Homo-oligomer: A and B are copies of this chain.
Amino acid sequence: MELLKEGGAAALDLRKVARKAGVSHTAPYRHFDDKRALLAAIAEEGFVRLTAQMQEAVSSAGTMFPLLEVGRAYVNFALTEPALMREMFSGLTIDRMAYPSLHEASKSALAVLVQDVEREQRAGSVIQDEDATNLALVLWAMFHGLAMLLLENQMPMIGSEPSAIEEMVRRCVAGVYEGIRPR
């Protein structure tokens, strides 16, 4: 994870990891089947941390705009650990299912959203005629898209000043909460 943070995905190779650990370049194969297995373990750890930060955001928000807090936390995580975020969501191409514990960890991030939606549905601040999981997926898509586009510098007009990013998070949360159609 240090290598990932320092030099991005390109800097993360098994031999460098072994060097950093002070062992021979074949030692890692005693602990991981192959490079993908190491990446899966790293991604899993990433999901654990992301889930914790989302959970924290919901808790600290109390009854006031939990979704805004979660969105902020999600974007903040992505911008703080861009290489990790990329590895979590696109490192292992297709066989995510081949790493069950990784799959579990990634589901826990969604679970935070589902729980908040259920709470808001009970409170009446979110529509009740739609499944909570489905609504959570919509929220996740919104947050994820925003985080990834910012991370990949695809919103140059937003830039990287915290205040501009904060405004963009607000707009996205407002967009999905209030809708862009006139009320």
Residues of chain B within 8 A (CB-CB) of A157 are 133, 137
A41 contacts the other chain (CB 8 A): no
A181 contacts the other chain (CB 8 A): yes
Whether the pair A127, B182 counts as a contact (CB closer than 8 A) is yes
A155 contacts the other chain (CB 8 A): yes
Whether the pair A106, B154 counts as a contact (CB closer than 8 A) is yes
Chain A contact residues (Cβ within 8 angstroms of B): what range? Answer: 35 or more
Q: A154-B106, A182-B127 are in contact. Are A168 and B89 (CB under 8 A)?
A: no
Number of copies: 2
Chain A 149-183: CB-based contact to B (< 8 A → 1; otherwise 0) = 10011111110000000001001100111111111
Chain A 9-23: CB-based contact to B (< 8 A → 1; otherwise 0) = 110000000000000
Where the two chains meet, the residues of A that have a C-beta atom closer than 8 Å to any C-beta of B are: 8-10, 86, 89-90, 93-94, 96-97, 103, 106, 124-128, 130, 133-135, 137-149, 152-158, 168, 171-172, 175-183
